[in-house]
Amino acid sequence: MLSARWIRNNLDEAKEILERRGLQLDLDKFLSLDDERRDFIQKCDELKHKQNLYSKKIGKSRGEAKDPQNLIKEMQGVSAEMARYESKRKDLEKESRNFLLNFPNKLHSGVPRGNKNVEERRWGKLPQFEFPVKDHQQLGESLGILDFKSAARMTGRGFVVYKGLGARLERALINFMLDLHITQGYEEILPPFMTNAAATLGTGQLPKFREEIYKCERDDYYLVPTAEVPLVNLHREEILAEEALPLSYVGYSPCFRREAGAYGKKIQGIIRQHQFNKVELVKFATPQTSYEELEKLTLEAEEVLKRLGLSYRVMKLCGEEIGFSAAFGCDIEVWLPSQERFVEISTCSNCEDFQARRASIKFRDKENKSTHYVHTLNGSGLAIGRTVVAILENFQQENGRVLIPEVLRPYMQGEKWIEKS
RNA sequence: GGAGAGGUGGCUGAGUGGUCUAAAGCGGUUGAUUCGAAAUCAACUGAGUGCUUCAACAGUACUCCGUGGGUUCAAAUCCCACCCUCUCCGCCA
């Protein structure tokens, strides 16, 4: 969330943000709303001030055994007037807040101009195959490790059952990634997989993306669309000590997304599911170090692909592609031989103070003892399902077997191959 | 799910309708004292919003005693609903 004052004082930049992100919001309407809101705040404060003064007088004269009836009469009128102003003021503040909650984050100066992402770096050699490659869906089904039919029967479209070595591969990846990030200095968190409305609003999923998340209606809880939600909310409504920063957390969670309206060949199989597993990285940092920390976080996520031996590239996201809550972000994209293209497997973002303002997460700086919003950063490290896709496709053999990357074998009781049992 | 107790500043904790501004203590910061430290003494000590042309670690007003409503001229205090914590009971992996 941006502050109303910032938008008021930086109108041109606010317009530019909307334009570059391809969004439309009525800024003029907001400005007049904001003027009105401030008028009403002033009016209410004046009346309240009068009320406070007279209340004291009334109390005092009662203590002196005088009858303050005339004062009370007058204040009844003031009170009635204030009730009218107060209710209008509340409406205006609600409307203003609602606008601000739906306004996206600023764009950092490093965000590429135009509507194309920009390649930042690339790692690894693209694999060459001397036989026709299969996609992960064909491989998974023929190896008997991915079962879409059973999942559709027990739940519905957009879900999958992992079986045998497929399930073990998924679980091995979760543990491998968690262990790697722990050695990079992250503290492991196993959070709740449901969050309340306040937490879900804090990270920016509500109110704008209501259609994208699953809600447990009876209890007003939301299934997490990413572990970013609980991890960032670890410190909601807290003031942290500057010395404690940066704080780094890694957490595994399943992620639940409605993916309303998403279909097509590019998302077939387990590329896009309503439920998938993910290991998430979150950092809380000072504004001075947040971009340095983002660079580290991105490299720490990339390290997973390096150790698995999967080719990837890192793309700086342009204004249209960057997330609602993020001021700057990079995608890590892994090579998929069946599609002959790179596919997103992680997004690493700096939300700056956008989430911190919503969730009220601050730090107290040591010198002048004032408080400031922290910067929050997050990145997948990595999406597990898509990592399975990449492993199946990149390490497939002509006979349909799949070579398990060496770093995962200790997590799979030394298995070297995924093959039909 | 049922019964009971509770939720007050960074922490402990007093405050059952107004006159005094949420007492007091702890912690923290600064200063005095000291060669230095401890002890002692003194001062200071939260967040948000509006206004002061803009900004502010400046001034001022308002708000904040779990959350949201209500009663009243006036609410931490009275009423209602909800949330959370603790104790006991029930159910349960």
A404 burial via Cβ count (<10 Å: 0-12, 13-18, 19+): buried
- CB–CB of A267/A232 below 8 Å? no
Q: Could you tell me the distance in Å between the CA of residue A83 and the C1' of nucleotide B81?
A: 22
Tokens of A79: 């009170």
> A260 pLDDT exceeds 80?
no
What mean pLDDT, rounded, does chain A reach?
93
Name the closest nucleotide to A371, judged by C1' and CA. B47
- Which residues share a beta bridge with A333? A313, A344
Name the closest nucleotide to A9, judged by C1' and CA. B54
CA torsion A363-A232-A203-A119 (nearest 10°) is 100
Per DSSP, the residues of A245-257 read: PSEEEEEEEEEE-
Q: Could you tell me the distance in Å between the CA of residue A366 and the C1' of nucleotide B35?
A: 29
Q: Which nucleotides of B are covered by protein (CB under 7 A)?
A: 18-21, 46-51, 54-55, 57, 61-63, 69, 73-74
Q: Could you tell me the distance in Å between the CA of residue A54 and the C1' of nucleotide B19?
A: 12
Say which range, A26-30, A65-69, A116-120, A219-223, has the weakest mean pLDDT: A65-69
Which of these, A328, A295, A326, A298, lies nearest to A110 by C-alpha position?
A328
pTM of the model: 0.94
Distance, first Cα to last Cα, chain A: 53
Residue A311 has phi, psi (to 5 degrees) of -75, 140
Per DSSP, the residues of A89-122 read: HHHHHHHHHHHHHTSPPP--TTSPSSSS-EEEEE
- CB–CB of A311/A125 below 8 Å? yes
Question: Within 7 Å: CB of A90 and strand B?
Answer: yes
Query: How does pLDDT run across A182-215, given as a tens digit for each residue?
Result: 999 999 999 999 999 999 999 999 899 999 999 9
> Which ipTM value was assigned to this complex?
0.88
Give A64 or A305, the one with higher predicted confidence: A305
Name the closest nucleotide to A74, judged by C1' and CA. B73
Mean pLDDT over A362-383 rounds to 86
Name the closest nucleotide to A220, judged by C1' and CA. B83
The top-scoring range by mean pLDDT among A61-70, A78-87, A107-116, A252-261 is A107-116
Given this model, what pLDDT does residue A238 score?
87
Domains plus CATH for chain A? 4-101 (1.10.287.40), 118-418 (3.30.930.10)
Q: Could you tell me the distance in Å between the CA of residue A98 and the C1' of nucleotide B69?
A: 21
Q: Could you tell me the distance in Å between the CA of residue A58 and the C1' of nucleotide B14?
A: 26
CA torsion A183-A184-A186-A187 (nearest 10°) is 10
Q: Could you tell me the distance in Å between the CA of residue A370 and the C1' of nucleotide B30?
A: 16
Given this model, what pLDDT does residue A369 score?
67
- CB–CB of A281/A248 below 8 Å? yes
Q: Could you tell me the distance in Å between the CA of residue A362 and the C1' of nucleotide B9?
A: 17
Query: How does pLDDT run across A270-301, given as a tens digit for each residue?
Result: 999 999 999 999 999 999 999 999 999 999 99
| Amino acid, res. A309 | G
Which residue minimizes Cα–C1' distance to B67? Answer: A198
- CB–CB of A295/A263 below 8 Å? no
Question: Within 7 Å: CB of A340 and strand B?
Answer: no
Give A387's contacts (C-beta < 8 A, 6+ positions apart): A173, A304, A308, A310, A334, A345
Place of tokens 């660079």: A295
CA distance A15 to A12: 5
Query: How does pLDDT run across A12-49, given as a tens digit for each residue?
Result: 999 999 999 999 999 999 999 999 999 999 999 899 98
- CB–CB of A102/A208 below 8 Å? yes
> A73 pLDDT exceeds 90?
no
A173 burial via Cβ count (<10 Å: 0-12, 13-18, 19+): buried
Q: Could you tell me the distance in Å between the CA of residue A289 and the C1' of nucleotide B31?
A: 34
DSSP A396: B
> Which residues 25-84 of A interface with strand B at a CB distance below 7 A?
38, 41-42, 44-46, 48-49, 51-52, 54-56, 58-60, 62-64, 72, 75-76, 78-79
- CB–CB of A118/A318 below 8 Å? yes
